[in-house]
Structures are given as C-alpha cells and as structure tokens.
Structure 1
Amino acid sequence: MKTLICNCNQTIPIDGPALQKALADSSDGLETVHQLLCRQQAPEFQRAAKSGEELLVACTQEQRLFLELNEQTEGARPVAERPIRFVNLRESGGWSAAARAQPAALVPKLAALIKAAQRPQADPVTSVSYRSGGRCLVIGSAANAQAAAALLADRLDVSLLVTEAGGELAQMRTLPVAAGRVTRLGGWLGSFEVEWESANPIDLDLCTRCNACVTACPESAISLAYQIDLSRCTNHRDCVAACGAVGAISFERAPQVHKERYDLVLDLGSEPQIALHAPPQGYWHVPLQGGTQGAAAQAGAAALTRAVIELRDAVGEFEKPKFFDYRQSVCAHSRNERDGCTACIEVCSAQAITSLAKVDGPGRGGIRVEPHLCVGCGACTTVCPSGALSYRYPAPAHQGETIRTLVGAYRRAASDAPVLLLHSQGAGQQLVEALGRAAAGTKHAGPGRTAPAGTPALRGVPPRVLPLALWHTASVGLDLWLAAVAQGAAAVWVLMSEEEAPDYRRAVSAQLALAEELLQGLGFSGTHFRLIDVRDAAALDAALHAGLAELPALSALPPQASFAVQNDKRATLELAIDHFIERSPLAEAPAAVPLGAASPFGSLAIDTDKCTLCLSCVGACPAGALGDNPERPQLKFTEKNCVQCGLCVGTCPEQALTLEPRLWLADGGKARKAPRVLHEMAPYACVKCGKPFGTLRAIEAIIARLGAHPAFAGAAGERLKMCGDCRVVDIYTNPQEVRITDL
C-alpha cells in the first residue's frame, strides 16, 4: 500500500525521518512528507494513483478533492476497483499543544494511526433490504400537514391524517384526508401499519366542503378543518339538517377504526407517535411549533426542510448491513417457560428485540431480533453475557486485530502506553475534530506568536490518546476492552455525546465499572476504564487531560499479551482473564474477586437442605455450567461457563439456588475451569430390584406429597418406590391393581 502524508502547510509537526523509522517494518510505501498535497503537490497524488497500488491518504479534509483527482487522472484505476482510504492525522492529535511543543511525542501516535488505517477492510456482511413505493402518510394539524404535503406531492403519493386542531382544509380535494386518533403505528421503511380511530360526527370521506354546516352552526363549533368541537356543541343538530342528503354528519355513528399500510410516515404532531430514541427508518418526527417567529419555529422549519429532502429520496430499493449474529443455542433469555437474562431487550433503543415466548407463546425459548428495526448500536452484544448476540459490523476478531495493531504500533515507537479512545463515527467524530480545530487557535501562530483574541485555550487530543471511530460506541464491550489493556493499552476510554440513548450510557457505564473491578481486584493499580460523557470540545479537552493523571504507570501494566481476539465473546474473555490472573502483581491473591450484578462471571450457592437433586436446573442452563453424573446423584458445576443469567434460580422448584457474581481465583484461576460437585445425595433403591433410580430425598418427598392421596393408595403408592422398569412389569403383572395414575 502506498501512503501519502501531508503536514497541511506545515501546521502538523511531522518528523518525517522518525516516522519513516517507526514504520520501517511495513510495506507502506511512505517516501516523504508533503506540505501541500491537495494544491501544488497534487501531481504527486496523481502519480501515485496511476501506479495501481492501494492508496492511503493522510488527509480527510480534502477527501472529495482527491477522489475527483483520481477520477480525472488518466491511467488511474477507478475507486470501485481500488478504493482509496483516508486517515485523519490533523484533528486527531496533529493539531495539539503537546505536538507543537514536542513533535517527537507525536511520532508513535501517527505511526499507530497509519498502521491501523493500512489494515485490510473487514469482510462484507449480509444486508437487509427495504422497498418503498413512495406512499407517504403525513400526520398533524390541517395547516401543517397540508404545508408539508405541498412539498412532497409531486414526488410521493401523499395522504393526510389530521390529528390536531389548527388550520383549514383546502376547498379543492387534491389529497386523501382522514381525521382521528392514532391507536397504533409500527413497522419500518416500506412497511408501516397505521391504525386510527375516527369518532368525530363529520366523515371527511363524505364531506363535500360546501360549508353549509359551518354556516348553520350557531356556536361556531365547526371549523374549516371540517371537524366538530364537541365541547362547544349543544346538540341542536342544525348542521345535520344543513348537510342534508350528503349525509356526512351523524352523531349516532359509532367510532370507526381504520387500518392502512404506508411506505413512509412524516409525523408533525407535538408528541411523536413512535417515541423511541432510535425510531425506525422511514419515520420522521418534526414537532412544528405555532407561529413563524422564534428559535423553536425556526428550528422546526429547518428540521422540516431536512425531512422533506430525505423523504423525497426515499423511493426505491435500499439496503443496510445486518449488524448482528444470533445463536439461540447459548441464549440465556428463557427456557422451560422461565425468564432469565433480559439485558438485550431492556437496552435496545429501537425495540428491535422481542421475547419469542411473548410472540409465539410459552415454551419458545430465546429472542427475535428484527433486522429492519436494528440500527446497529451493538448495545445488545455488549450486555449479552453468553455471546449469543455478537456484533458483525465489523466482527469482533477484525475489530480486535485493528486495536492490537493500533496499540502495538504505538508501543513499539514509544516509551509509554497509549490510551484507546473509542468514539462514534457521527457526533463522537465531530467532537474530536472540533477539539482539534479549537486547539489550532494557536496552531498557525508559531513560536513567539499568540493566537487571535477570543480563541479558546484548548490543548487538543493528547499524543498519547489514540482515537478509534466505531459505527456506535456501544458496539464494543468487555471482551475487547480487556483485550486492549492486555495487549498493551494503558486504558480504554469510551466517548459519548448527545446521540447516545440514556440506556446505552447506563449499560456501558456498568460494563466499564465491571472491567475496572476485575483489574483492581487482581491488583492492577490506576484507572483503566473511563466513560467520557461530554457535549462540546472544551468539555472533551478537560476530560481527556484530567484522565491522563489517573493512568496506571507503565510498570504497573502487565506484559503485552499475544493472543488474538476471537469472534466468540466468552473465548476472548477467558484469554484476557487468564492473562491478567497469571500476571497479577498481588503477592497473595484473594480467594475471589467480588463483582457487581452486571457480571457475566460467578458461582452458585446451593441450599443443600432444600435441594432434592431433581436436576431441573441442569436442563435450564444454556451455557453448560450445570451437569449431572450418570453414575450417581450429583449436581456438578463448571464456574467458567456460568453467565449468571438466573435461569437455574428461576427453574428450581425448591428455591435452593442463589447467584454469586465473582471471579474465582483458586489454584491460579484453574479451579473455575474444572467441574466441581455442588451437591450429592444417596440414591434411592428400587423396592423390587434394588437398582438406584433417584435420590432418597426426592422419592421420599414424592411419597410424602402424594402418598396420602386416594389415587395413590395401595399398589399405586407402592409403585412410586419402583424404578421405571419394575413399575411397568408390575402394571402388567397385576392389571387389577392398575389405576389411571399409573398410566
């Protein structure tokens, strides 16, 4: 790959020879550091484009220009055949006070960012398709709905649903119009189902808008939206007489329910019909305020303009990635009509995840994720304890290798360890870039000069902080965070802004706290995990530099691990935990590290006085943590496999089990990987043949509960003490003693 680097008119202090040395072990094609690659040195880019090699351009500011240059360069391969990649070195740290003061400190960061950008692209994922014919429903007041429809009707098949007072309906009937109260709205782009109830005496389908009823009403209770204000009507019924043969007005008409399908929905109501942080694609909510003056009205008008532009283009066939994979076999949500883990359902801001038991009825285990509603936040995969839900855009193994490349390149060129800053490609990226630009208030000033008056004194992204853009910040969780520290990062910080749902913050914060509990419990000092929740560049600047003071010392970090992140979440977690346990600085490790309720690790406490060894918990466990012994009545438990879902606790008829979130450290962590006996009992011997067929306590409990019942009197009661084989023989040997309970 050929890499083209520019110091942006000498505003980024790039030490070319040092950077070349840091990148010496790669075939990156770095030859020189350009000064104005987008202007006077543009021919250098064109020569590189004609070489046929893959290109990496260290400039995102002029991305469009470089793509156009490639298209206009004779002999250059089209982007469709050879994509051109871009990496931001400027705002991500090149424009910072520390880089200006000590350019050498910037070299490890630049090398890391370039190395990560040179990595192969992730494998493509399957796609989810939408088809829209342009049938659009506009919801709101008559005035707002008609105004919006006028901007859409030449492109879309528009219908109006008047749900709020305000405005008049046009005399000329050019669009289908209904009025009423929305009772249900669901679906997605190309497949919305809308249900509304109309209870007003005036039927808009029949109304001719002759205005006879408006004139006849003495209370002026009928507006030119052709709906009756029932709070003002005194039941004189002059309007009914005026309407006459048209028959559009009836006070005896029962409320009518209407159902229709639409491809698109524009909701102009004061309150959204779909009140979700991540509404489905194809649904726009623009709460227009009354009047034309004021900030709220102007914001509403701007939002409506954006929505109209997007709606006009929302006709045809569309695709988006399928962001997730789901393995029902290890899902800890439900089994045997018992609910266990509900973390994914609770965190999903798009309500794309539902319980199969609620959809298909009791007995169905697992969940269903509707890919058309999924927005790819990945929060479900972060909170999933078993790895049943895994992120695929990109897959964990690819993302993990990117992180390992990023951290490893920095560590090879530096004398300290980097901080990994995870942020979204949207608002998070904008915050990082805004900080870089704000820090450049002194960027052009040069030695001995001052920044223009009023320029914020921001320091920029520190050279030690490596930003990594994700589709969504919640898509990376405990497995990759721990792997990053194991592989050499000093810390992992997650940047969130106004675009993240409150549930994402709570979930990610709980998982970060859990990761910190693990490392602190194993004796690793410093703060390794941090949630940065800010809204502007100044707050981000303060948070980044404050966090640097709490980082662990290089000597307090474990040696860098060499393992690769796996696509299986639990496998990666085990690799990381083993690495930390083996390299714990504690002279004497505790028996266990206690963890919070969000822990996917832990043990089971069992009340042996209550347990009858019915083994119903074994059948309920989705992770293979619980097992039996075919040779004797035993309940075995492998702690490494337990995901703390609670299905065993909910299934136990004796309420004998309790979850214990922890990381067990006995025998250097090896004990948690081996099955151990939680409980065992003496077997019950068949009264006929002597073969053990259950536990003494279980059979005695059955006899105690059923023995007094008339149905189990005599021979039927005696058969409760027999094994299955002897019971069948006895039934056929003594048919006169057989009761319906035996069959």
Structure 2
Amino acid sequence: MEQSLEQERNRQARSTACAAVDSLAVSPTGIVQYTSRGRVLVVGDEEAQLFANRIEPPLHAEVLLQKGSEEPGVPVVAVGGRKVRINGHLGAFVIELGEPGKPSFQRIESDMVLDFGEKPLIGAEFLPPGYWYFSTEPQEMDRALLEIAPMVGTFEKPRFFDYDPDICAHARAGREGCERCILACPADAIISIGESVEVNPNLCQGGGVCASVCPTGAMRYAYPSPADTLRRVHLMLKKYLEAGGNDPVVLFASEADAMSLGELQPNILLLVVEELGSVGLEVWLSALAWGAQEVLLADGESVLRGIRLNLDEQMKIADSILHGMAYPANLIRFLGAEEIGKASGAKMPQISAAAFESFNEKRTMLFLAIDHLFQQSGSSLEMISLPDDAAFGRIEVESSACTLCMGCTSVCPVKALQAGNDEPRLQFIEQNCVQCGLCESACPENAITLQTRLLTSVEKRRQLVTLHEEAPFLCCSCGKPFASKGMISKMLDQLSGHPMFQSERAIKRLQMCEECRVVDAIQDQDAIDAGIAIKQPETNQRKN
C-alpha cells in the first residue's frame, strides 16, 4: 500500500514535470533546402531493371547495372568493371565510373539513388538524404517505391550544428591536433580544411555525436541547442522534486526509439531527443548534479554502432570522474527497452540539488556539474586519474630541453598556454587545457608531454602556474632583453658550423637584439659581401 502511494505520488509529480517541460520553447536554427526534379538512379542487377520499369512520372528512372545483361525499358548504364564513386545528397548526386581523362570515364547526375546491390556504394553509417539501400525482397521493393514517390520538389530540414573555428583544436600553424568530430561523424559530413573543419549541411543528419566528442565546444548541436536541452533536463528534475517525487531517473531516448519503450516506472523521467548522440558528458553530469539518481540511455535500433562506441568512451570518462569522487559505478549507462522497467542498478546517494543555470558553453557546464558533485561528495581527493582520451589534464615541460621559443603558446586554441608578457616565461591554466596535443606536436625540442587528469580544486585548476622560466638574455650591444638564454645558446650551437657565422663579429651579432643586429650588419663589409646586408648609399649635400 505504501509503495503504491509513493508510485502514485511519483506519477503525479512526473505529469507536473512533463507539463512544465512541454511549455518550453526551442531556440530557432537555420534551414537546409533540397530540390529534387525526380531523377532516380536504380543500382543493382536484373531485378533492379525490373523495378525501374515500375517507376512512373513525375519520377524518371535510370539503371546502374552492376551485373547481368541489359533489358529493354528504362535507360541503362553498365558498370562494366569500372570503379564507381558516388557523392552528393538529395537533388545533387554525382556518380563517376572509371578514371577521369580516360575514354571509359562516365559521369551521371541524379536526384535520388535506390541501391539494391550486395552492399551500399556509400560506406557511411548515415546514408545521405535521398539515398536508400534495400534488399531485393518483394516487400522491401514495395517499400522503396513508397519512399521515392513523394520526393519531387523542394524539401527543408533544420540545420543541426553550429561551429566556432576560433576555439577549434583541429590544427594550428600546419600542426595536426584534434580529429574527433571527423572520425565520429556517421554521415561522413565533416572534413578538414586546413586549420579548421567544414561540415556539409546537406549531408549532416543531426547525429550529434560530433558535438558530444568535441573537447572545446567548437562543434555544437543547434536544434535543440545545448542550453535548450539542459534547460529541459533541469526543469524536469526541479518540478518533479518540488511536486514530491522521489528517486528520479532521467532516461534519454531518440525519437525513433521512444515509441517502443512501453510503460515506464513512475520515477523514470523520459526526455526524447532527435538523436541520442547529441547528449553527452556535460548533460549527463548536470542531470546528476540537479538531482537525478541515474542517467539511462535507451539502446534502441536507431543507435548506430559508431555513435554507441563514441558514447561508451564518454561514459568511461564520466565513470572515472564519479568513481574518483566515491560515487557508485555505472550511474550513466545504456539499457535496452526490455531492461529499463526492471532496472535496479546502483543509485546516487542523496545530495542537495544544484541550482546553476543552463548555458551553451560546454566547458562551463562541465565544470559547474563536476564542482557541485565533488562538493557534495565530501571527498578530499585532490586529483582524479582519467582515461587517455579525456579532455582534461596538464602538460609537463622538460626544462632542460625547453628554449622558451613560445611555439606552443602560438598554437594553443584555448589559451591554456600563455607567454609571460615581456619575460621568458611559459605559463599554464589547467582548466583551459583540452589535451588536444597541438602544443606537443609544435614543440621543436620535444619538451612537452601530456597527462590526463582532473584537479578537484577550483582554485588550483584556474591558477596561472609557471611551467618554465629563465632569466632574459640581454643584447650585448644595447643591453635590452630580447630572448631567453636557452634560445640564444641553442641558436649559437646550431649555427656554430655555418660558414656565415665563423667570424667573431658575426657570432657576436647573433647575441644582439633585432635593431642592433641590423645596424651592425650594414656596417660590416663581410656581411655586405655575403648578401646579409645591403650597403647604404652615401649622400652628398651641397650648400647653395
């Protein structure tokens, strides 16, 4: 009886919370358009040819015949052993056969592709809009006909992403750094374009895992925005607890999988998202900080293997953080639909729910949640060890090798590494570091190594610490500081055998500041003869 009363109280609290969340508006995003004129390329063998004859106006079919003989009817292009490359999306597919420049090369344009081959011509987990892959079973072919029937005209979808190249850790100064979004994207919609990345909005289908794995927040889910999603989670938990609900469990499910969940226990708060990959570490930890006992992810058929693997890695990081604070293991986990109703895993101890608000800045949300959870844990641990792919940690500098050239500070995308103003000093703020590795690859002396970890002290994490410093080297001519002693020593050593720096005067010039070096060079006949300096013309002034 007492249990049923609690369940009824939880059910009413959940209804109150759901009603509050349903009233929240979602921030608008951009629109992506497609235009299809109805050209359909049907890929396969003789069965594909038979299917193509069933396609009627306003659709127009053409067959890409992989094997078998041509039959009368719709136009047919035989592969004939040529290599097939296909790119594009609804309204703009380009299929190339053979090698460009050779007589056998052929190019086909199509608005849609129906692929009945042994395997898809496109290897992405998320096939592009306008590309369908079906078996040749009769019911599958009937379904294919229904899929393409309405696909003539102009179509719209939301733009699912925002990207800020200024904080992207992909590359700097020709050095490669983070590639997480490129490797994680199930639609192959993200490519490198030098020092930043580019997302093809027509290929992007809102998988969201690019934003979840991005260490800086440069790649951000846009529909809904991170703040919108976090606001829903916070309001759901807040209203549920205010209405007297107990032991709230937050369950995230994709739109495609939500309908198969069935009836849920009254304390399970369902939050439906476009794609499960869009909900990552900062959302999970914030949910726990706001009072959730567990965070569950519905492991349905729509969750692609690549997305699942990337979220699993993020869960390992979350588990390491929570374990370091002495919280139970597996508070955040995947569960199949049949397991959710009877799940009784470890739960969070009772803590005071956090009151922090929701923001779009990923790192801000992460540290708000982490700091609240640590404060509530009562732990005295100063440092938590993390997996190697975590985006938290420090760098170590080998002082004997570092010349304070500041190449590392010039490539750091998040200002974790900073130069010491006019002093030869390398400084570091650990909270900013995302372990992208750009500093390590940019260091000409191989003096930098990375170490993933999480400092639990807010003050220590935000402190500007000195990693290496030296007394400044003073110009041997004017006395002005202009470099570090290590840098000048390294330069003198490297140029000791250079033919242009064998004279005492040339060696001394290396120890001058830029201004004094120029003045000395134009007065040195040897430097002029070697082409290092240009002799200044003499000027004669006549008095009238």
Q: Same fold (TM over 0.5)?
A: yes
1:696, distance to aligned residue in structure 2 (A)? 0.9
1:648, distance to aligned residue in structure 2 (A)? 0.6
- Asked whether the 8 Å contact 2:61–2:74 carries over to 1, the reply is no
- Asked whether the 8 Å contact 2:7–2:267 carries over to 1, the reply is no
Which blocks of at least 5 consecutive residues in structure 2 are unaligned?
535-544
CA distance in 2, matches of 1:710, 1:549: 73
What corresponds to 1:146 in structure 2?
Answer: 49
Q: Which moved more, 1:365-374 or 1:405-414?
A: 405-414
Does residue 116 (structure 1) correspond to residue 18 (structure 2)? The answer is no
Does residue 163 (structure 1) correspond to residue 66 (structure 2)? The answer is yes
CA distance in 2, matches of 1:716, 1:152: 82
- Which amino acid in the other structure matches residue 567 of structure 1? N
What corresponds to 2:133 in structure 1?
Answer: 285
- Give CA-to-partner distance per residue, 1:683-734, whole Å, 9 cap, x none: 2221111212111111111111112111222243332111111111112222
Does residue 132 (structure 1) correspond to residue 32 (structure 2)? The answer is no
1:498, distance to aligned residue in structure 2 (A)? 2.5
CA distance in 2, matches of 1:273, 1:308: 20
What corresponds to 2:464 in structure 1?
Answer: 675
* Candidates 296, 302, 313, aligned match of 1:510: 313
CA distance in 1, matches of 2:309, 2:79: 40
With normalisation by structure 1, the TM-score equals 0.68
What corresponds to 1:51 in structure 2?
Answer: none
What corresponds to 1:351 in structure 2?
Answer: 188
- Give CA-to-partner distance per residue, 1:327-370, whole Å, 9 cap, x none: 0000011111111111111111110011112xxxxxxx010111
1:415, distance to aligned residue in structure 2 (A)? 5.6
- Asked whether the 8 Å contact 1:526–1:552 carries over to 2, the reply is no
1:475, distance to aligned residue in structure 2 (A)? 0.3
Does residue 524 (structure 1) correspond to residue 524 (structure 2)? The answer is no
1:581, distance to aligned residue in structure 2 (A)? 3.2
- Which amino acid in the other structure matches residue 372 of structure 2? H
Q: 1:102 to 1:522 in 2, by over 3 A?
A: closer
- Asked whether the 8 Å contact 2:111–2:130 carries over to 1, the reply is yes
CA distance in 2, matches of 1:174, 1:422: 47
Give the 5 Å matches for 1:530-545: 530-532=333-335, 534=336, 540-545=337-342
* Candidates 228, 232, 237, aligned match of 1:407: 237
Does residue 583 (structure 1) correspond to residue 376 (structure 2)? The answer is yes
- Which amino acid in the other structure matches residue 175 of structure 1? P
1:159, distance to aligned residue in structure 2 (A)? 1.6
1:177, distance to aligned residue in structure 2 (A)? 4.1
- Which amino acid in the other structure matches residue 473 of structure 1? L
Residue aligned with 2:105, SS: strand
* Candidates 494, 507, 520, aligned match of 1:705: 494
Does residue 197 (structure 1) correspond to residue 98 (structure 2)? The answer is yes
Residue aligned with 1:466, SS: strand
- Asked whether the 8 Å contact 1:347–1:503 carries over to 2, the reply is yes
Q: 1:718 to 1:123 in 2, by over 3 A?
A: same
1:145, distance to aligned residue in structure 2 (A)? 2.4
Does residue 628 (structure 1) correspond to residue 457 (structure 2)? The answer is no
- Give CA-to-partner distance per residue, 1:270-311, whole Å, 9 cap, x none: 1211122101011112232xxxxxxxxxxx222222222221
Q: 1:185 to 1:742 in 2, by over 3 A?
A: farther
CA distance in 2, matches of 1:102, 1:720: 80
What corresponds to 1:468 in structure 2?
Answer: 271
- Which amino acid in the other structure matches residue 194 of structure 1? I
CA distance in 2, matches of 1:123, 1:101: 36
* Candidates 589, 602, 606, aligned match of 2:393: 602
1:157, distance to aligned residue in structure 2 (A)? 2.1
Alignment root-mean-square deviation, CA: 2.1
CA distance in 1, matches of 2:196, 2:486: 33
**Residues matched between the structures, number:** 528
- Which amino acid in the other structure matches residue 40 of structure 2? C
- Give CA-to-partner distance per residue, 1:138-194, whole Å, 9 cap, x none: 1211x22222212214331222221112x6512xx5535444334211111111111
Residue aligned with 2:154, SS: strand
CA distance in 1, matches of 2:497, 2:70: 78
Residue aligned with 2:261, SS: helix
Does residue 662 (structure 1) correspond to residue 453 (structure 2)? The answer is yes
CA distance in 2, matches of 1:327, 1:582: 32
Does residue 717 (structure 1) correspond to residue 512 (structure 2)? The answer is no
Q: 1:574 to 1:266 in 2, by over 3 A?
A: same
- Which amino acid in the other structure matches residue 453 of structure 2? R
Does residue 488 (structure 1) correspond to residue 288 (structure 2)? The answer is no
1:678, distance to aligned residue in structure 2 (A)? 0.7
What corresponds to 1:386 in structure 2?
Answer: 216
- Asked whether the 8 Å contact 1:480–1:565 carries over to 2, the reply is no
CA distance in 1, matches of 2:21, 2:507: 73
Which blocks of at least 5 consecutive residues in structure 1 are unaligned?
1-97, 199-253, 289-299, 358-364, 437-460, 535-539
Q: 1:734 to 1:149 in 2, by over 3 A?
A: same
With normalisation by structure 2, the TM-score equals 0.92
CA distance in 1, matches of 2:507, 2:41: 69
- Asked whether the 8 Å contact 2:226–2:359 carries over to 1, the reply is yes
1:598, distance to aligned residue in structure 2 (A)? 2.8
CA distance in 2, matches of 1:720, 1:545: 75
Does residue 269 (structure 1) correspond to residue 117 (structure 2)? The answer is yes
What corresponds to 2:175 in structure 1?
Answer: 338
Q: Which moved more, 1:346-355 or 1:595-604?
A: 595-604
- Asked whether the 8 Å contact 2:67–2:78 carries over to 1, the reply is no
What corresponds to 2:408 in structure 1?
Answer: 617
Does residue 431 (structure 1) correspond to residue 260 (structure 2)? The answer is yes
- Which amino acid in the other structure matches residue 521 of structure 2? I
1:101, distance to aligned residue in structure 2 (A)? 9.5
1:591, distance to aligned residue in structure 2 (A)? 2.4
- Which amino acid in the other structure matches residue 196 of structure 1? L
CA distance in 1, matches of 2:472, 2:118: 68
What corresponds to 2:484 in structure 1?
Answer: 695
Give the 5 Å matches for 1:366-385: 366-385=196-215
1:474, distance to aligned residue in structure 2 (A)? 0.8
What corresponds to 1:183 in structure 2?
Answer: 84
What corresponds to 2:539 in structure 1?
Answer: none
Residue aligned with 1:302, SS: helix
What corresponds to 1:645 in structure 2?
Answer: 436
What corresponds to 2:347 in structure 1?
Answer: 551
* Candidates 230, 240, 246, aligned match of 1:416: 246
CA distance in 2, matches of 1:151, 1:335: 54
- Asked whether the 8 Å contact 1:612–1:698 carries over to 2, the reply is yes
CA distance in 2, matches of 1:681, 1:584: 41
